[in-house]
Amino acid sequence: MFSSDIDQCTHQLLQQHEAMLTFLRVQGASLCHIRPEYLLDVQEFKHWCSLQSNEEDHGLDYSSVDYESLSKRSWTDVLLQIYKVLVLCRVSERGSNSYLNPEDIDGILPVSSPPLATPAALLAQHALQEHEKTVWGTGGVPSARWIVNFDLDLTDGLVLAALLAAYCPFLISSLQRMYTTINSLEQILHNNIIVAQALTALSLNLDVQTITLSGGLHSTFSKQVRLKSPSSEPIKYQVYILGEDAHLFSLPNGSSVTIPPKASTELAVHFSCSVFQPMEAVLLLISSSPSGLSSTTLAFNLKTHVSHITPINTVKCKSPCYQQKVIQVPINNPFKKEATFRVGLVESLFNPVEPEKKKNSPVQKASSNTNIKKMTSDKSCGDEMEGKGSDFNGKCSEFLSAVRSVCLKPGQADTLNIHYLPFFPGTKYCSVLLGCPQVGDMVYMVKATAELPLPSPLTARPSANIVSIPSNSDPAVLVSVLSLHCKVGQVCEELLHVPLINMAREQALALWGQRSMSADEYRRRMITHTLHSSTVKATTAVRKLSKQMAQLFRGVYQGEEVEYSVEVSLPQKFALPSTVTVPVREETRTPWENPADCGCVDIPVRFQADCVGQFTCQVILRSWCDTRVYVLEAQVTSQGGSVHLDFSSPAHRSVTQDIPLHNETHQDWRMQAEVYGEGFSGPKVLNVPAGTRACYPLTFHPSARCTVTGKLSLHNDHDGTEHVFTLGGVGEHPLPVDHVLLQCSAGQTTHTVMNVPNYSQNKLTLKAETDLSAVSGPPSLEIEPGQSAPYTLVVSSLKRGEQTGNVSFTEMYNIQEADKHKGNVPGCYEVHFSLEIICKPAAPIKLIVVQCVAQSSVAIEIPVKNPRGEPLRLDVYLEGDDLSGANRISIPPGETLSYKATFSPGAVGKSTGSVVFQSEQMGEFWYQLELYALPPPVIRLPEDCCQLGK
């Protein structure tokens, strides 16, 4: 009875295991490498390790020991030694004569018993004799032998293979590849590799390390093997790579490696990957030190793994559901050998070569030995007819290859046709695998997007609002688009008749079923006219569904119903129920001519629009098994009213109003425009693409001040609708054609030329008018249609200063009617220019020098004579800060008067001034003054004296 205390229990188990090991060693067991603590349970072993860690000198370090491996190996050795010393010892030599037939070994060995006929050797001898024919048959049986020395007689592996076949018959198929007649060391290694693989398949740990080289397809894998030597002498190894795939591996640093004393070195192993299939080989290192020091032979298993794949090319395509599309994949042979590549397809819902999905990608699954063997060695499809190719693993539901294999010469390019027939909307990826185990493998990627199916036909109950189905026609007639017609604001409620069977899906199932048939079945069904039978479509449908969906599919065709969700692309105007239930009848046959013959389901629809136009709506029905699309179209016309637009613009100036047109349909619009009214214009044709918005530019350009009316009519050639706009336009006073700036001197005449335009299409005679007295010119001007004519303008100003005004040109034809309309003549052509005159003063009549002492005044007298026979009144302007005088003077006829101005300087200095005389009769004349303010005289004060301090 073991103690419950972990410390005492561990101590008791160690004593028990020590006693057992001692007993077995006395019986002859080879257990010197097994210690009692190796046989402890996991809890007692951990406790024992913790106790050892507390001691300063505890020998070995068990902190990093793999308990599972240590315990498994130790108990296996103990059990085998128990079998050896307690079971095999009971095998006697008395029955050994029955194991070997003397006739079989005559001439090979003496007939007497073997000198070392141990029980183990006798059992091995018996197993070899009993099972060698089972493994290798009668033609390849190994020669008879005595089992005398295990190191020599078990070298070729045949005895061990016979023992494995005796206890594990399922390994016989792999053991049959062994050489039964040994002629070289390579054949011995080949046999032992097969035996080692068989032991590995039995999960027996042979303590042979496996080195895995991984990388991408069509790349070179590299691995560094670290070799460490505890010896004080250098060790030299000869390196060999053996096995069926050894030629694919290489040693870039040579076939020998030397390990320095008590040091380590690295051995590089390369693998050129050209195929998916994992490759295996054996890395063997045999000591060949010149000093004669013999070291342990090292062996490693080499395995390869394709961790990621980069497609050579990716082809993208789109296709509606139920419509077959041929995808042309350009392929090329990049290898240096001619090869026949087997074609395989692997379908997935995601991109299988993306890094985050590598682990579970179908391409990596396709790299397994099973799929690779099927792609490279399957001969069953070689006789099938061309075009009946299938997918790689039998589960590809929407892609088929037109051929099973393709032969390409080095560098030759070709095109591989992949048939794509989608049944559900969405994106799928198809990995196109081209495999040749002797040359290499290639991967191409196809990204296919399945769009919504094409619109399916439907019908409806005859109604006055339905224009696509005449009221006197057969209600079972199907149309691709159901067209409605109504007024703005009118509510239309109709009843749609949707066929029970989705004809597009039925035809696709039949077509895909035919392509999936074998050549014999296709020929048989063609003869019996059953290529479109329901069994073909049902089988194809079940293959495309998962297990649960397939069960549901079978249940649906037993009298149940299918529920569809309803999606409307224009829910603001079309209203339908959210779900529709379609019954499925088992006895229903597919009516290829008219799908409505199988029956219809009624779906109510309600339509109402608040604006004029044509509206197209997609109705999408989705279920677990199919998708349907129906198209409804409604043409809405106005109630008879029109829209009024008002325009106003200065004459000869244009204003444009954009009229928006929104095409919400799936058809392009071609709008025919007709514009009426003086001054209104616009393009005759406007195209509005489907699903876009465009604007019709309507321009009002009055040629004169006027008030006009007009009309715009936009006719839609697609649906026949017409939009009418009434127009009103007001031509306002025109803006100046140009701004003319003139500079002149007072009393002088200046000429300038202006180009007066005629924007009308008539020859005009224009009258010139101005509001400035200093401006003159010809009274009229003639201008040809659409031309400009020069007009000479004369400027003669009698006064200095700036003047602004304008000169206008008005049509003389309507001048006589000006009195009748009080100047507001409709349609009167008129243009005008704005004028700005800057008149500089003329030369002064005289320069007068005036001197005056500061802080005093002096009078300036200027004589002015009136040569006219009537009184002359002059306006006087004084320029100068220190000047003063009267601002007006009146002179009798024929007399002369003196104008008196006063100069009163306040400070010493020099300045200028002027006295300007202006009148309407004589114009302007002036005198220039030079003003000098002199210093005042010095005043001397009388001398005054006084005593200091008083």
Question: pLDDT over 70 for what percent of the chain?
Answer: 79
Q: Give how far the C-alpha of residue 339 lies from the chain's centroid of Cα atoms, to the nearest Å.
A: 36
The model carries a pTM of 0.52
pLDDT at 329: 94
Tens digits of residue pLDDT in 403-413: 889 999 999 99
Q: Of 93, 103, 104, which Cα lies nearest the Cα of 132? A: 104
The low-confidence residues of the chain, meaning pLDDT below 70, are: 1-2, 55-64, 90-135, 137-141, 143-151, 205-207, 289-296, 355-396, 470-476, 529-559, 585-597, 639-642, 813-827
With a CB cutoff of 8 Å and minimum separation 6, the contacts of 137 are: none
pLDDT at 317: 93
Q: How far apart are CA 258 and CA 238, in angstroms?
A: 9
400-407, long-range: CB < 8 A, 24+ apart: 400/345, 400/512, 400/515, 400/516, 401/343, 401/345, 401/432, 403/343, 404/342, 404/343, 405/340, 405/341, 405/342, 405/343, 406/331, 406/340, 406/341, 406/343, 406/434, 407/338, 407/339, 407/340, 407/341
Indicate the DSSP class of residue 640: S
pLDDT at 119: 61
Three-state SS for 749? Answer: strand
Helical axes 534-543 vs 503-515, angle rounded to 10°: 80
pLDDT at 594: 64
pLDDT at 148: 64
pLDDT at 587: 55
Element (H, E) at 731: strand 722-732
Tens digits of residue pLDDT in 489-540: 889 988 888 888 888 888 888 887 777 777 777 777 777 766 666 655 555 5
pLDDT at 372: 41
pLDDT at 545: 52
Q: In what order do the strands lie in the sheet with 706-716?
A: 643-650, 722-732, 706-716, 669-676, 685-688
pLDDT at 700: 92
Q: How far apart are CA 635 and CA 721, in angstroms?
A: 8
Segments in 473-598 forming alpha helices (H)? 503-515, 519-528, 534-543, 547-556
